[in-house]
Amino acid sequence: MGPPGAGKGTQGELLARRLGIPRYSTGDILRQALRERTPMGLAAKRFMRAGELVPDDVMLGIIGEVLASEESANGFLLDGFPRTVAQAEGLRRTLEEMGLGLDAVVNLTVPDDVIMHRLSTRGRKDDLAKTIRRRLEVYRAQTKPVLDWYADAGVRILAIEGVGDIEEIQQQILGCLAL
Ligand code: AMP
């Protein structure tokens, strides 16, 4: 977890490779659906362009599908999901049905000014200044409470500072996970 621009994708990719497990990025899945012009992709487009969240039922449908796949049987890393308490609750139900649980939540923390700089220079279509600001607002209002929800649920949260050398940040995540 972490605000947009925290480096979830970068760190998530490295971590999944090191652990030898699949990484499921809901943002990537949605962008792929949009490129392929599937009904889901087309329906998600206006939310993504506006910096809003795609509705929970759509997201829970996506996650249900990826978790049911064979490649996730030995573990998986979720990137950009859950982003609302309702998604976290839905995920818990799905995992319970599968007899699984979460080992840890990795929370990447990055100061706002660093985020604004990173996002305004990366040039994705949902990275226009207005959209960036909205994405940050949405993060604070809807996604940050998910961290408290996990803390209450007793799930281990690793707080990692997401500023600095990419490989050093990765080593911190690996080190904390091993503790
Ligand atoms: P990301 O690449 O993770 O920043 O996601 C890009 C956009 O996809 C977000 O701004 C949302 O519009 C949408 N999205 C990705 N993951 C989720 C999620 N878990 N819940 C709702 N919307 C999502």
- For the segment 34-63, the average pLDDT, to the nearest whole number, is 96
30 lines ligand 1 (CB under 6 A): yes
- The whole-number pLDDT of residue 128 equals 79
- Looking at residue 79, what DSSP letter applies? E
Give the number of the atom of ligand 1 that is nearest the alpha carbon of residue 84: 20
- pLDDT > 90? residue 120: no
> What average pLDDT score do residues 113-130 get?
82
What tokens were used for 10? 């970068």
User: Residue 138: CB within 6 Å of ligand 1?
Assistant: no
pLDDT digits (tens, 9 = 90+) for 52-90: 999 999 999 999 999 999 999 899 999 999 999 999 999
DSSP 8-state code for residue 157:
E
What's the pLDDT score for residue 122?
77
The Cα diameter of the chain in Å comes to 44
- Residues in CB range of 94: below 8 A, 6 or more apart: 60, 63, 64, 67
- Which pLDDT value is given to residue 121? 85
Is residue 4 in contact with ligand 1, taking CB distance under 6 Å? Answer: yes
CB of 83 within 6 A of ligand 1: the answer is yes
Look at residue 92 and tell me whether its pLDDT is greater than 80: yes
pTM metric for this prediction = 0.94
Candidates 3, 5, 61, 71; CA nearest to 29 is 61
pLDDT band of 123, cuts 50, 70, 90: confident
Residue 132 has pLDDT above 90, yes or no: no
Taking the centre of ligand 1 as the mean of its atom positions, its distance from the CA of residue 128, in whole angstroms, is 15
All domains of the chain, ordered by start, with CATH?
Answer: 8-177 (3.40.50.300)
Residue 108: strand, helix, or coil:
strand
Q: What confidence score (pLDDT) does residue 155 get?
A: 97
Predicted confidence at residue 169, as pLDDT, reads 98
Select from 125, 55, 151 the least CA-distant residue to 159: 151
The residue with tokens 């621009």 is: 5
Convert the pLDDT of each residue in 8-23 to its tens digit.
Answer: 999 999 999 999 999 9
Torsion sign, CA atoms 151, 81, 145, 163: positive
